[in-house]
Structure 1
Amino acid sequence: MLFSSLYKAAILAASLVSAAPAHVHNEHKRNLVIVTETETVVVTASAPLVIAGASTTVSLDTVNTDFAQSSSYATIVKQAQVTGSAAVVDTTTLSSNTEVDSTETAVAVTTSVADTTSTSSSSSTSVSTSTSSSTSLSKGKGITYSPYTAAGGCKSLAQIKTDFERLTDYEIIRLYGVDCSQVEFVLQAKSSSQKLFLGIYFVDAIEAGISEIASAIESYGSWDDVYTVSIGNELVNDGEATVAQVAEYVSTGRSALTAAGYTGPVVSVDTHVATINNPGLCSISDYVAINAHAYFDYYTEAEDAGSWLLLQIQRVWSACGGAKNVYVTETGWPHQGDTYGVAVASLEAQASAISSIVSVVGDDAILFNAFDDLWKADGAQNCEKYWGINH
């Protein structure tokens, strides 16, 4: 595995800073994640998240605005429980020197209402009506690819070959699964210099998935075409598996891959927050593979996406004891959707974010996504369909 000198230099100096189709492989989740000096609490809610505090009760979508109107210091999650269809958390008021960090929704700890108000913004929709491809985007080392039509069907070999004519600048192509004959088709569509980051998405069919990969490799390529194989995607973050279960899945996958003749890296991908909160994930993979998106950090502008991402790499590396390299397997910025704090979803913002990411951590990140995923539901911030870099 080759990692950029910029990444290594930064890591050495780093210190820890306190009705869609079934193949929804990479839909983003809404997590409220609060990190303090003493504990971390992650609450995942598909239904509205309600925060009950001493002086205010707010929903997830309006948490920052409503806290700005509170007369007390911002509150921080101390205990969490799921009741019915909504996650409800109890809060406790803390002093202003407590640092609060979040991937997707951060409750700012400030000393006055004015301070919070200055960084708060109610959610509004910024929809780009342009379909022009005139916005120039920087090219990174790798990019993710989904083999589905706008209606959710499987793209043909001819369609995938056409797509790949626009992806020749990327060294690594990440796939999430084996359905739709995607491994077979992509092996035929890619150039000889491109490598594949393959994935087993359904962990109840690991050996069957690896058998399909091996068959495609035998017919249309070699194991030299494979950069990495991942077993599972964001399983801990989504509450679908424990760290121990992920370890079992990776062990099963590694054994099947070895038997098929593969000797390269095997990983399980999760979010950077899930990895920080569950450092047991670090020892499972041959290197630490994370998904991280600056857009879901309420206080990060597009032009700062690269710096934000480097900080998350540093935090994960520190949480993992500096024992393994950290590689970002999914990061990007939507070109359409809601404005989320200072994060604007537009073509211009996407270009700025991608340029920043490529400039700061380009050799250590796979961009998300090659094309828009119009088969998805609108999802969080109404942006799930619109992460495509090739417009």
Structure 2
Amino acid sequence: MLFSSLIKTAAVAASLIGSVTALPAHQHNQHKRGVVVVTETEVVYVTAGAPQEVSGESTTVLLESVVSNAAATTATESAYTLQAPVADASTHTTASTVATSSTSQATASSTGDGSLPDDDSSSFAAGAKGITYSPYTSSGACKSLSEVKSDLAELSSYSLIRLYGVDCNQVENVLQAKASGQKLFLGIYFMDQIEAGISQMASAISSYGSWDDVYTVSIGNELVNGGSATVSQVASYVSTGRSALTAAGYTGPVVSVDTHVATINNPGLCDISDYIAINAHAYFDYNTVAADSGEWLLLQIQRVWSACGGNKNVLVTETGWPHKGDTYGKAIASPEAQKSAISSIKASCGSSAILFTAFDDLWKADGAQNCEKYWGIY
């Protein structure tokens, strides 16, 4: 089938997303990316600065060949078509052989059936499933309720709004500011404050909405990829979070978000979440132009789906393109490139993607490619 054949026949350039030091008060989405080249049986870590090669061949050529074939047959696939069972047992075995980094077995497993929760996305016209939002001013201060309401008025066409934490009263404020029918993808960011964060989250829900307003709750963001936790530690964090959420009356999906590369290299992550939630950005692939972002992203969805045994849906919880920053291989950071990338993502797999991000994060550090502040779409 398509998912296994793509992995068996191609070397794929993929981004490795981690954490970069920035404002310590809130490090949500502080990214430092490198490049990883993945083949069927090996993972080769490389540094940026020149087109990468695998077995003497440019990954750009290989990626373009695979994307061309994939786009011809799957450009209109949604997350729901990725639920198909694996054709044979070799699919999972083959995908798992790319995991050359050590993995720990999860100590807790998901409780769902791997499907995405229902939402009323058909009544929203954004072209993507959702968008991420951070409640900070350019100086890093907390935005007021009136400022959050003004921001959310520009995001009313998205069915989902993703938040990363509970600081700055962001859950309380977004619940009051969101459009009718919108749902929230909530998050606990600090792993030493899981139960306290969920208590604050539950209080906000009690005061300004209901658990029906919540699409998913994530426990942690890119913990394995950033080197701050092992798979078994993530499993423990999610177990703690799930127990606290259940006690608070929440019965929806619980996930831990990591990068597509970390998930493929650590398939134990697949067992922890109720469905698979990944962050993936084509800009950091080095060999992908903005106009090919959607096809590249669809390929990453397929690779993760296969690596996880084809048993759970995959939702991309961050993907986007900067409008300012350094040129990184074929990736040019410009307003025109950002528009091209977002259009491509929406056309290829918008129903499976949460865009990154609503507004520029001027409170962040510049980052390795001088682009971390400039991913805002509005």
- TM category (shorter chain) comes to 0.7 to 0.9
Aligned amino acid, residue 96 of structure 1: G
What's the counterpart of residue 386 of structure 1?
Answer: 374
What is the CA distance between 1:326 and its match in structure 2?
Answer: 0.6
Question: What is the CA–CA distance in structure 2 between the aligned matches of 1:10 and 1:172, rounded to whole Å?
Answer: 29
What's the counterpart of residue 43 of structure 2?
Answer: 40
Moved more, 285-294 or 9-18: 9-18
What's the counterpart of residue 56 of structure 1?
Answer: none
Q: Highest CA radius of gyration, 1 or 2?
A: 1
Identity of aligned residues (%): 71
Residues 61, 34 of structure 1: alpha-carbon distance in 2 compared, 3 angstrom cutoff: closer
Q: Is the 8 A contact 1:14 1:318 kept in 2?
A: no
Q: Is the 8 A contact 2:4 2:306 kept in 1?
A: no
Q: Is the 8 A contact 1:138 1:354 kept in 2?
A: no
The 3-state SS of whatever aligns with 1:389 is coil
Residues 148, 261 of structure 1: alpha-carbon distance in 2 compared, 3 angstrom cutoff: same
What's the counterpart of residue 238 of structure 1?
Answer: 226
Write the deviation string for residues 22-42 of structure 1: whole angstroms up to 9, x where unpaired: 312112223342323333255
Question: Is 1:264 the equivalent of 2:252?
Answer: yes
Question: What is the CA–CA distance in structure 2 between the aligned matches of 1:288 and 1:139, rounded to whole Å?
Answer: 21
Q: Is the 8 A contact 1:35 1:99 kept in 2?
A: no
Structure 1 residue runs without a partner (length 5+): 1-8, 43-50, 52-59, 68-73, 77-94, 104-136
Please point out which of 56, 68, 92 is paired with 1:96. 56
Moved more, 25-34 or 273-282: 25-34
Question: What is the CA–CA distance in structure 2 between the aligned matches of 1:211 and 1:172, rounded to whole Å?
Answer: 22
Question: Is 1:279 the equivalent of 2:267?
Answer: yes
Question: What is the CA–CA distance in structure 2 between the aligned matches of 1:347 and 1:96, rounded to whole Å?
Answer: 34
What's the counterpart of residue 345 of structure 1?
Answer: 333
Question: Is 1:354 the equivalent of 2:342?
Answer: yes
Aligned amino acid, residue 243 of structure 2: S
Question: What is the CA–CA distance in structure 2 between the aligned matches of 1:147 and 1:389, rounded to whole Å?
Answer: 15
Residues 161, 13 of structure 1: alpha-carbon distance in 2 compared, 3 angstrom cutoff: farther
Write the deviation string for residues 283-320 of structure 1: whole angstroms up to 9, x where unpaired: 10000000000000111000000000000000001111
Question: What is the CA–CA distance in structure 2 between the aligned matches of 1:159 and 1:283, rounded to whole Å?
Answer: 39
Residues 99, 370 of structure 1: alpha-carbon distance in 2 compared, 3 angstrom cutoff: closer
Question: What is the CA–CA distance in structure 2 between the aligned matches of 1:100 and 1:261, rounded to whole Å?
Answer: 49
TM-score (normalizing by structure 2): 0.76
Write the deviation string for residues 131-168 of structure 1: whole angstroms up to 9, x where unpaired: xxxxxx96422000000000000000010001011011
Please point out which of 149, 154, 160 is paired with 1:166. 154
The 3-state SS of whatever aligns with 2:32 is coil
What's the counterpart of residue 195 of structure 1?
Answer: 183
Residues 271, 215 of structure 1: alpha-carbon distance in 2 compared, 3 angstrom cutoff: same
Question: What is the CA–CA distance in structure 2 between the aligned matches of 1:225 and 1:15, rounded to whole Å?
Answer: 37
Q: How many residue pairs are counted as aligned between the two chains? A: 306
TM-score (normalizing by structure 1): 0.74
What's the counterpart of residue 28 of structure 2?
Answer: 25
Question: What is the CA–CA distance in structure 2 between the aligned matches of 1:225 and 1:250, rounded to whole Å?
Answer: 21
Write the deviation string for residues 149-194 of structure 1: whole angstroms up to 9, x where unpaired: 0000000001000101101101000000000000000000001210
